């Protein structure tokens, strides 16, 4: 039985990859817009099965873009933008927080995944201040999908610490991780709790890079 399942699973993986390939092939573009370089044509990765599952989990997924000019660029520039998406399980709405290089923070609310997907595809995220030098600017864009937020990570660390210490009232040992990080550990068990709790990180669920370019000033002509 197990021997029969393995080829089936391999086939399923291949099919899902082939299906996802056209989605991933469409990459973003960098375009000057006003005094900013914006990232547009965001890749349709929200439809990816693993990303979709993560978005619907109720945890705050972060889609972080990092942009840096490379190669023959006149200047080394770095910038980026991020989009935090949390599906509110009770109200069944997607709560989105958009933060871009302009410093603008925008809170959005979508009552369906389709609307979220539409917004994502149409979104234009300022990622760099527009350079005054006229040139062609090769750049690398890196996208990371982080499955949960730092606050959720810390909350789980606290919960794990309490669970390990057997303190389930949530009061006695609350903040033991941060306490242990700040102070000298009071006991061996606290050190162990600290070691275990800090093993909870925020590994990226998905990463992708694109090599793009944008053109500014006279070079445009």
Residue 174 touches another protein, criterion: CB under 8 A: no
The distance of closest approach from Cβ of residue 11 to another protein in the complex, given in angstroms and rounded to an integer, is: 22
Report how far residue 141's alpha carbon sits from residue 138's, in angstroms, rounded to the nearest whole number.
10
Residue of 148, 161, 177, 190 that binds another protein (CB under 8 A): 148
Residue 23 touches another protein, criterion: CB under 8 A: no
Residue 207 touches another protein, criterion: CB under 8 A: no
Tokens, residue 45: 């990765």
Report how far residue 177's alpha carbon sits from residue 196's, in angstroms, rounded to the nearest whole number.
10
The distance of closest approach from Cβ of residue 130 to another protein in the complex, given in angstroms and rounded to an integer, is: 38
Does residue 200 contact residue 156 with C-beta atoms inside 8 Å? yes
Residue 57 touches another protein, criterion: CB under 8 A: yes
Q: Which stretch binds another protein (CB under 8 A): 11-19, 51-59, 132-140, 172-180?
A: 51-59
Q: Which stretch binds another protein (CB under 8 A): 1-9, 18-26, 69-77, 194-202?
A: 194-202
The distance of closest approach from Cβ of residue 90 to another protein in the complex, given in angstroms and rounded to an integer, is: 6
Residue of 29, 95, 192, 215 that binds another protein (CB under 8 A): 192
Residues whose CB is less than 8 angstroms from the CB of residue 38 and which lie 6 or more positions away in sequence, other chains included: 30, 31, 32, 124, 125, 126, 127
Segment holding 181, helix H or strand E:
helix 176-182
Does residue 206 contact residue 48 with C-beta atoms inside 8 Å? yes
Strand 60-69 vs strand 36-40: parallel, antiparallel, or unpaired?
unpaired
Residues of this chain that interact with another protein (CB under 8 A) are: 57-59, 89-90, 147-148, 152-153, 155-156, 159-160, 192, 195-196, 198-201, 203, 205
């Amino acid at each position: 039985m197990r021997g029969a399942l393995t080829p089936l699973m391999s086939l399923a993986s291949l099919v899902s990859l082939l299906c996802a390939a056209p989605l991933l092939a469409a990459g973003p573009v960098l375009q000057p817009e006003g005094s900013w370089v914006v990232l547009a044509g965001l890749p349709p990765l929200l439809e990816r099965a693993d990303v979709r599952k993560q978005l619907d989990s109720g945890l705050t997924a972060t889609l972080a873009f990092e942009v840096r000019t490379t190669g023959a660029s006149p200047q080394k520039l770095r910038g980026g933008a991020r989009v935090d998406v949390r599906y509110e399980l009770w109200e069944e709405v997607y709560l989105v927080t958009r933060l871009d290089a302009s410093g603008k923070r925008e809170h959005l609310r979508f009552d369906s995944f389709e609307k979220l997907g539409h917004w994502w595809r149409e979104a234009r995220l300022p990622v760099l201040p527009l350079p005054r030098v006229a040139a062609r600017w090769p750049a690398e864009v890196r996208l990371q999908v982080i499955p949960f937020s730092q606050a959720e990570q810390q909350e789980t660390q606290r919960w794990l610490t309490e669970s390990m210490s057997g303190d389930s009232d949530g009061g006695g040992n609350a903040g033991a991780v941060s306490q242990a990080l700040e102070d000298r550990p009071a006991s061996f068990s606290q050190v162990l709790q600290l070691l275990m709790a800090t093993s909870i990180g925020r590994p990226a669920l998905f990463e992708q890079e694109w090599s793009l370019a944008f053109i500014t000033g006279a070079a445009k002509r």
